[in-house]
Amino acid sequence: MQRSPPTRRLLLAGGLAAIAAPVLAQNRAPRTATGLITAARAQVGVTTGYDPAYVRLGFPGGDVERGTGVCTDVLVRAYRDAFGLDLQALVNADMRATFSTYPRRWGLTKTDSNIDHRRVPNLQVFFERAGGKLVVPASVEDWRPGDIFTSLIGGRLPHTGIVSDRVEGGRPLVIHNIGAGAREEDALTAYPITGRYRWALEA
């Protein structure tokens, strides 16, 4: 007897699992904040430019040339290099499964694996859906190494980076690309904070 076709929800869930499982298993070294920070810090001096231009990427594992990029590329590269976690593939799979939960501000009607994972608002939704959203601490000293921050520049430009394990004057540094390449600097509260996330870290 012929089986009835599975529902669209089951197909999408299966697709997400099929993509996520091999990626998650790619590197089973402990996923620590130190590992993530080390991978982000390795981009300093390598990524020396900033270019927000739309670029067609390979999939999965696509990336622009490492000498340039945007703020989100710091996160994407750090998670890939440290843990083998591919935010391009994971965000794409989640967006395909739950497209209506993601921002519609760009007028898109379907996913775009070239750019979806490079947009801060999309990463915010993904991290929250993955259980990574945290309360923004009242004091800057209460941020933890490996935390992901999001902020808003000039009231309109979303930004993101990773909180470092280095501290200056009681303030944690951040690793980010805000226009002049990847840097590690005291800039966590340079702009209004819009979110705090901690994703895929085991310790």
Q: What is the pLDDT of residues 25-58, one digit of tens each?
A: 554 679 999 999 999 999 999 999 999 999 999 9
d(Cα 115, Cα 139) in Å, to the nearest integer? 33
Res 175 pLDDT > 50: yes
**84 in Cβ contact with 36 (< 8 Å):** no
Q: What does the pLDDT read at residue 20?
A: 53
Helix (H, G, I), strand (E, B) or coil at 177: strand
How far are the Cα atoms of 144, 154, 183 from residue 126, in angstroms, in the given order?
A: 20, 24, 25
Residue with tokens 């085991």: 202
Helix (H, G, I), strand (E, B) or coil at 24: helix
Look up residue 119 and give its two tokens: 């947009």
Q: What does the pLDDT read at residue 28?
A: 65
How far are the Cα atoms of 41, 66, 145, 184, 189 from residue 44, in angstroms, in the given order?
A: 6, 11, 17, 7, 20
Residue type, 18: A
Task: Describe the crossing of helices 120-129 and 87-97 by its angle, rounded to 10 degrees.
Answer: 70
Look up residue 142 and give its two tokens: 């209460």
Q: What is the pLDDT of residues 112-163, one digit of tens each?
A: 999 999 999 999 999 999 999 999 999 999 999 999 999 999 999 999 999 9
d(Cα 96, Cα 112) in Å, to the nearest integer? 10
Q: How confident is the model at residue 96 (pLDDT cuts 50, 70, 90)?
A: very high
d(Cα 67, Cα 116) in Å, to the nearest integer? 21
**13 in Cβ contact with 97 (< 8 Å):** yes
Helix (H, G, I), strand (E, B) or coil at 50: coil
